[in-house]
Amino acid sequence: MSDESAAFSHEALFYGGEEQFLAEALPFIEEGLAAGELILVAVGGAKIRLLESRLGGRRDGVRFADMTEIGRNPACLLGVWREFVDNQAVVGRPVRGIGEPVWAERSPAELVECERHESLLNVAFSDAPAWRLLCPYDTEELEPSVIETARRNHPFILDGGRVRRSEAYLDPDEARGPFDGPLPDPPGKADRIAFVRDDLSEVRSFIYRHAKDAGLDRERTANLVLAVSEIATNSVRHADGHGDLLVWGESGALLCEVRDEGRIDSPLVGRERPAPSELDGRGLWVVNQLCDLVQIRSSAEGNVIRLHMSLDLSLN
């Protein structure tokens, strides 16, 4: 076990190939089962089948979730872990988890948001009851830069069954903030409209036309229209009553970007389900559930919120 003074032990596992993954992941699971812990394993479908076959009849207490489904939008993952931890805390049962949010087929934009998710886990669970989360990274499939980023985002590393501190780890106060850093510039061909409060109906019609022209089906068109409407409504309510909307196609996806003069301060906004009594942050939480990827950048110059919706239904 890692430093016992750390309630939340966020650990990286760097492995090369299937057998090395199993050599670390199986003992981690079995140790938890022996301690009476409930375990959530969120990895790709192939690894789920592999672990199930090796565990055999020892699966009581282990839950599996396909990471390619629950983690397509990395911003949704924090809420999954929060619900898992909080639900078991109510009944007093200890937990641990395995979560692999990064795989080789992730797009550059998704990798950036995975990095932010991993860093924010250290913020979200800083005061949580003690539990362990192991995050595997495949050194044979991932770029060295991705591995180095993982070293910065995980306080601990599991290596040969032993946990050690990561010398590269950056405390959240030192790491890049969740809303810092620019996004790639939209193309010059992006369609753009400015809007104020009275234009929200036109905003919805504008997105609907683009989604239909791009070939999105009815459900995903409705999801995107609702998501953009939520963001635009936030702009007119909280950012001096106006904003700009840009839409363009890129790499098999339809992208929508809303810009305004507001400022977002809460690092976890949109990542955890708001309580019924909470009014702020609900719109961004809904948007994260509806879109394939959501990127939020906020600075003294204003907010930029970029929504991605894949045109390939096989990816959803």
Q: What range does the domain containing 124 cover?
A: 8-165
> Which DSSP helix (H) or strand (E) runs through 45?
helix 45-55
Whether residue 160 is found in the same domain as residue 12: yes
Whether residue 160 is found in the same domain as residue 245: no
Whether residue 18 is found in the same domain as residue 135: yes
Average of pLDDT values for 261-279? 86
Average of pLDDT values for 142-167? 97
pLDDT at 1: 46
pLDDT at 129: 86
* Total tally of structural domains belonging to the chain: 2
Rounded to whole angstroms, how far apart are CA atoms 296 and 293?
A: 10
Q: Within a domain: residue 178?
A: no
Q: What is the pLDDT of residues 181-231, one digit of tens each?
A: 999 999 999 999 999 999 999 999 999 999 999 999 999 999 999 999 999
Q: Within a domain: residue 294?
A: yes
Average of pLDDT values for 287-300? 97
Whether residue 280 is found in the same domain as residue 218: yes
Q: What is the mean pLDDT of the chain?
A: 93
Q: Measured at the alpha carbon of residue 274, what is the angle toward residues 180 and 255, in degrees to the nearest 5?
A: 45
Residue 257 belongs to a domain with what CATH number?
Answer: 3.30.565.10
More reliable by pLDDT, 270 or 276 = 270
| C-alpha Rg value of the chain to the nearest Å | 20
